[in-house]
Amino acid sequence: MGNLQVSSGQYVQAAKSFASAVIFGLGGSVENDGRHLGVGTLNDLKSNSPINRRAISSIPDLVHAIDQSLRGSPVSANACSSHSPLLLSPQQALQARYKLFPPDGQLPLVSQCQNNQNTNPQIPVDSLPSNYIQRYNNMGREDDPRQTSASIEAIVSNALLNLSKIFQDGINSGAPDKVVYLNGRVPSTYDILSLYLLSLSLNASASTANNVGILLLASVTQSPMSSNLPCQNCERRTRDLALDYYLFGLSLDQKHPHLHTNLGSLLREQGKLNEAVQMYQKAIQCDPHFNIALANLAGCLKDQGQIDKAIIYYARAVQENPDFVEALVGLASCYGSVCNWTDRGGCGWEQMSVDIEGNLVSGQIEGWVTRVIKVAENQVDEVRRWGIGAIDFIDSVEGGNLFKTIERTVRISDPNERVKFRQLINSWRGCYEEGTNLLSLIEKTIRAVQRQWYLDRRQGVKPPVPDYTYARPHIPSVLPIPLAPSILPFHSFTLPLNSFYVRQISEKAASRVSMTVLSQNWLPKHVYPPPASPKNGVLKVAYISSDFANHPLAHLMQNVFGMHDRTKVHAYCYATSPSDSSQYRQEIEKGAYVFRDVSSWSTQKIVEQLVSDGIHISVNLNGFTKGGRNEIFATRPCPVQISLMGFAGPMGADWCDYVLGDITAMNGVPQYSNLSNNDSRLKLIQPPDENMSSYWPYRKEKVIYMPRTLFCCDHRQSAPDSNKVRIESGQPLHTWEADVELRQRLRKQLFPNLPEGAFLMGNFNQLYKIDPTIFVTWLRILQRLPHAYLWLLEFPKNGRTNLYTYAYKWTGSRDILSRIIFTPVAEKNEHIIRSRVCDLFLDTPECNAHTTAADVSWGGTPIITYPRHSYKLCSRIGASIVYGALPADYRGRQIGQRLVVHSEAEYEDRVVEFGSTLEGLRELNEIRTVLFNEREKDGNGLFNTKKWVESVEKGFQRAWEDWVQGKHENIFID
């Protein structure tokens, strides 16, 4: 019955069925309605029965009994605290039954059967699964008591396994209708692990060992399971234990595909990609139709750069299960990365599509990109339902304690304000975004209370009980971790999504991060204490990044940290990745006021170090990119938290107060009104208006507007042809005349067969940034300019064949095919030098060149760019860089208006204009001269890193002053 109920989506009923089987097998009584079991929906009554290890009557009773029997005993000697999961090895877990039912580990029902061999126990027919009823009815008739015991143990073990899996899957799903509650709260890792351990002890099975391994790993990764792990040693031990359980499971069943798959994922997480591939392949050998193993193998192959092989396995996974969202999204990502557009279709803003034969067709048709967009939209719409009913539960079951805590800590004492506060909460009740608004309320309260603590301290107020006065609002037990969309925020850069879904994808990803970390038991009961007032006005600013290495971000910012005026800012750098011993890492370590390698630290340890260091402002240099540690920021260790440079989009998080921007990149300043502009204390905690400007994706964070460009460059300090590098190496300065000669020489070296008078256009982005629309535009330009050539990079190499295929298929011209030139990716300094060879850089409108655009501008090559979207920062940074590299005068604005266009048609016509006439070529050469002369000037342009740092310091100072004053608004740097 239970399994049928699960398959039909009746999760609560199934959980009650399995719970009944467990309680009955443990000697407890089972009522037909199952309400006493402590398992069910929010409306089910809690179990309040007393704990009795010999008469366990509910699942919460059982969890408590397991805890009491194992905690503090020799078996659990490795448990790290009274709040951590029981970190038992598989061999120790097998002893759980003996600790719970000493001395022989015999279940109570077994004793009953042995004592009453002629009398079967009373079976609650309406409560137990039918297959269990039949097995229970046969128990008393067993000739061998050992067989009776084994039968009961198998039944209880299986029911525990199924019940735990329902809890685990419900939490992982994030879907409200799949979550099964335990005594009116979301089950914790500890609850589920306790049940699994007893199941394993009663009947050691590979499936149970597999699920324990999954649960343990989930407790130390950014997942929906609350980790409760208080120390870094526990985290390492937990990962080791997960491996032990996988290996133990394989010792029981060497052909268990799930175990091979999960072991592969653990190895992949550790960076052991070759070993991971082998594990996934073993899983597929066990079950060739196992779609999860197929998709995981594809993902691992993608990590290794084997995109063609990854596509094969992703396609197989989708074929096995067309509704497997992760495989579909992974397949689409691989297709996009190598420009495999066959059967792509078209949607959103796109006016043309690619059909199943690879033909270009006018209008929009169904294809893999439309399916991915529909998946994203459906997932967002589903997640927006998260938390519906939570306010009713908080009021009716928890007595409104959350709202009372917020009123007390934020000090909403005025009766009218309290009425408005309750009206605000009631406006969310039963509506979409109810959970999101509650989470936002909690996070804004944490920020407000931290500020109040700071103000009290300045006034000499020392409350006796910080846990009460500055209490951290707890996450309501009714709220599970929400499911984040399968499309990551970074992937939204290149998909035709509208502004609403771009924003929602980031917001839902941020909510998942928040819920994960704010559920941790190691968080103090009070908010983190604020730092002391800046001593002598010096702000302590922590830059946190995994990219302090040979990475584009370090290329751009390597000297920033040493340029800070130490009478204004002390730059602390927290490196969340180990040293690669590169020159970039060494430069950053040397320049920082304090440099900390925290790559092996737990989130808790990093957060506590930030608090101990007294950091005023923390800067997120990753955002939603690989290696990001956003959970650090979600704990709110610092009063002001800012995102810059790492992620070109909205963070959508209440733990991100500001993003760095400029007028061009942000498409101006949004016009909207919000309660936060009035003098009410509610301004400190009210979530932003859902109905604010529809195009504006920065609904939660404010913008620090830089005077010229948000983009930071280090070329003046580190480029091989910069004045600084040339002087330090004893070489003459690089003059305009030398640059002209260098450009001509390199052009002949790189392209010896290029005809005299050829017009060379280039794009050096990764190929995933190219979409069919812009590629067609480039092909039309080549058709209109017979002497033009297009230079692209093999980035990756296997995208070249696809682009050649579409170029010929869509034009039918082998001449055009011959005028598209691919070269390998070059080392950084070589790339910067050779980028000046092309006459014009053609930007990709959906996601612009970022670091590449800065490299090209330094080399003096003009960039034609089209900021296709008003709401996508990644689509507008190219324009910001173009304007930032030009003089801040009328002439610079004129040039910028020629290079920054406003449609695909204007893009095409402007390139043709530049490349078809002597006047156009002369104009490009004049622009090149301006760019060259501007790059070493003392103004506040793109390449003046020192001026950029000074502007950022002003932004930091304003952000800090606004926090102290209780303001949160856009900041404009003069």
- 527/589 same-domain check: yes
- 686/735 same-domain check: no
Q: pTM for the full model?
A: 0.90
Tell me which residue range forms the domain holding 425: 386-480
- 42/181 same-domain check: yes
- 607/747 same-domain check: no
Q: Evaluate whether residue 758 is within a structural domain.
A: yes
- 45/156 same-domain check: yes
Q: Evaluate whether residue 621 is within a structural domain.
A: yes
Number of domains in the chain: 4
Report the pLDDT value the prediction gives residue 894, as an integer from 0 to 100: 97
- 437/574 same-domain check: no
Tell which residue, 53, 22, 6, 3, has the closest CA to residue 124.
Answer: 22
Contacts of 537 (CB under 8 A, 6+ apart): 567, 568
Report the pLDDT value the prediction gives residue 548, as an integer from 0 to 100: 98
CATH number at residue 540: 3.40.50.11380
Q: Evaluate whether residue 90 is within a structural domain.
A: yes
Buried b (16+ CB within 10 A) or exposed e, 264-278: bbbbbeeeebebbbb
Report the pLDDT value the prediction gives residue 50, as an integer from 0 to 100: 41
Alpha-carbon gap, residue 828 to 397, rounded angstroms = 61
Report the pLDDT value the prediction gives residue 75, as an integer from 0 to 100: 45
Contacts of 625 (CB under 8 A, 6+ apart): 490, 646, 647
- 573/623 same-domain check: yes
Alpha-carbon gap, residue 40 to 59, rounded angstroms = 11
DSSP state of 185: B
Number of H helices, E strands in the chain: 41, 17
Q: Evaluate whether residue 898 is within a structural domain.
A: yes
> What digits encode the pLDDT tens for the residues 481-533?
898 899 999 999 999 999 999 999 999 999 999 999 998 889 999 999 999 99
Q: Evaluate whether residue 873 is within a structural domain.
A: yes
The count of C-alpha atoms lying within 13 angstroms of the C-alpha of 351, restricted to the half-sphere facing its C-beta, is 7
Report the pLDDT value the prediction gives residue 226, as an integer from 0 to 100: 39
Q: Evaluate whether residue 127 is within a structural domain.
A: no
- 732/845 same-domain check: yes
The parts of the chain modelled with pLDDT lower than 70 are 1-8, 30-36, 42-55, 72-85, 114-146, 174-176, 221-233, 670-682, 689-695
Which pairing describes strands 352-354 and 360-362: parallel, antiparallel, or unpaired? antiparallel
State the amino acid at position 213 in one-letter form: G
CATH number at residue 785: 3.40.50.2000
> Tokens at residue 311, please?
């596509």
- 702/753 same-domain check: no
Report the pLDDT value the prediction gives residue 125, as an integer from 0 to 100: 46
- 559/691 same-domain check: yes
Report the pLDDT value the prediction gives residue 173, as an integer from 0 to 100: 76
Handedness of CA 666, 668, 672, 677 (dihedral sign): positive
> Tokens at residue 193, please?
């692990």
Buried b (16+ CB within 10 A) or exposed e, 356-373: eebebeeebbebbbbbbb
- 956/935 same-domain check: no
- 708/736 same-domain check: no
- Other CB atoms within a 10 A radius of the CB of residue 41 amount to 15
181 φ, ψ (degrees, to nearest 5): -90, 155
